[in-house]
Amino acid sequence: MYRQVVSALLHLDTKSAWESIDTTRIKELIDILWFLPNSQLDLDIIHSNKQLKTLYYAKGYLQEASVGSGIFSLDMLATARQNRFEEGDLSFSYLCQKCKQSFPVSFKRCPNCMALNSVKVEETIAKSSPQTDYSLL
């Protein structure tokens, strides 16, 4: 339920959401935090936490170098950015902890076994692709 609560709070009240984030459980929210727009960041809270600081440095939102979050993929991206390689990105897959099935989108109820709140976020380092805003029409 933690993921759903924080996600809903980020949509409703960003300040309360940042205050309620448990800094020991950032790995559970890594995808939600990665895709947050720059306008929803609370820089005071981010600068006070090593993992958040590394995450947003790796993302390219912060200019002050930070490495050492304890999350391998974030540390690798941050190290690459320090060495002027800025083409790295994170991609996410979502694993059901009950049936071990992997999915490309997050879920509350597993589409395979119907277990509730069994999602585990797995991040992998990927090459960033240029964003195009082409419509399908």
Look at residue 137 and tell me whether its pLDDT is greater than 60. no
pLDDT per residue as tens digits for the range 20-78? 888 888 888 888 999 888 888 888 888 888 888 998 898 888 888 888 888 898 889 99
Look at residue 113 and tell me whether its pLDDT is greater than 90. yes
- CA nearest to 75, candidates 102, 108, 53, 98: 53
Where do the structural domains in the chain lie, given as residue ranges?
2-127
How far is residue 97's CA from residue 117's CA, in Å, rounded to a whole number? 9
Band of pLDDT at residue 136, cut at 50, 70 and 90: low
- Compute the mean pLDDT over every residue in the chain, rounded to the nearest whole number: 86
Look at residue 132 and tell me whether its pLDDT is greater than 80. no
pLDDT at residue 127 in the model: 85
Look at residue 130 and tell me whether its pLDDT is greater than 80. no
Look at residue 135 and tell me whether its pLDDT is greater than 90. no
Backbone angles phi, psi at 55, to 5 degrees: -60, -50
Rg value, the chain, Cα: 16
pLDDT per residue as tens digits for the range 38-49? 888 888 888 888
The whole model's pTM is what?
0.79
Q: Which uninterrupted H or E stretch holds 43?
A: helix 43-47
